[in-house]
């Protein structure tokens, strides 16, 4: 999205975009970056949870089978401590996932509202002359390449 921002700046400097249009599109770029950041953080958190569940799963059952009858004091303590630690990390990851998911939903909502506002206000943002139609098409295709649909809601 940094490339999009620099291309918007170039178009603004050439006079192809008005100041209002440039500002709104820059806001859209920033909101898209934040939305993608939180989406990626959510994915990482889900992968961490899966790894923690697999670690607990693959250490609990083999450990119980092998050392079922031969637990000494230290091994029992280490076994219990290890799994309590894993359960603590899993609970912490679930809370973190809840926070990250809420933040992602908030950022996604803000991004979608701004995107829909840009689509609704298209006559205000691009209304001067024929050259605006070309610059509008350039901006729309530029954003469409980055998976931002400004053609329709």
Distances (CA, A) of 18 to 4, 23, 66, 144: 16, 9, 72, 20
Question: Does the pLDDT at position 16 exceed 70?
Answer: yes
Average pLDDT value over all residues in the chain: 78
Looking at the domain assignment, is residue 66 inside a domain? yes
Gap between the Cα atoms of 81 and 75, Å rounded: 10
> To which residue do tokens 């050392």 refer?
67
- Checking if the pLDDT of 11 tops 80, the result is no
Counted domains in the chain = 1
Predicted confidence at residue 130, as pLDDT, reads 45
Is 63 within the bounds of a domain? Answer: yes
Q: Is there a domain that residue 103 lies in?
A: yes
The answer to whether residue 152 is domain-embedded is no
Average pLDDT over residues 107-136: 75
Domain hosting residue 113, numbered range: 2-145
Average pLDDT (35-50) is 93
Residue 18 lies in a domain: yes
Task: Find all residues with CB under 8 Å of 123, minimum gap 6, and list them.
Answer: none
**Is residue 151 situated within a structural domain?**
no
Whether 150 is covered by a domain: the verdict is: no
Question: Could you tell me the pLDDT band of residue 131, with boundaries at 50, 70 and 90?
Answer: low
């Amino acid at each position: 999205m940094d490339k999009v921002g620099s291309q918007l700046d170039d178009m603004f400097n050439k006079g192809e975009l008005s100041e209002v249009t440039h500002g709104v599109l820059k806001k859209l770029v920033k909101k898209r970056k934040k939305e993608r950041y939180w989406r990626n953080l959510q994915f990482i958190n889900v992968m961490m949870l899966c790894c923690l569940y697999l670690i607990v799963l693959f250490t609990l059952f083999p450990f119980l089978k092998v050392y079922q009858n031969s637990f000494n004091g230290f091994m029992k303590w280490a076994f219990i401590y290890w799994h309590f630690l894993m359960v603590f990390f899993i609970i912490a990851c679930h809370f973190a996932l809840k926070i990250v998911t809420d933040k992602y939903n908030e950022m996604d909502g803000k991004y979608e509202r701004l995107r829909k506002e840009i689509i609704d206000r298209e006559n205000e943002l691009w209304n001067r002359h024929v050259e605006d139609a070309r610059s509008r098409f350039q901006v729309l295709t530029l954003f469409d390449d980055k998976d931002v649909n400004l053609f329709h809601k």
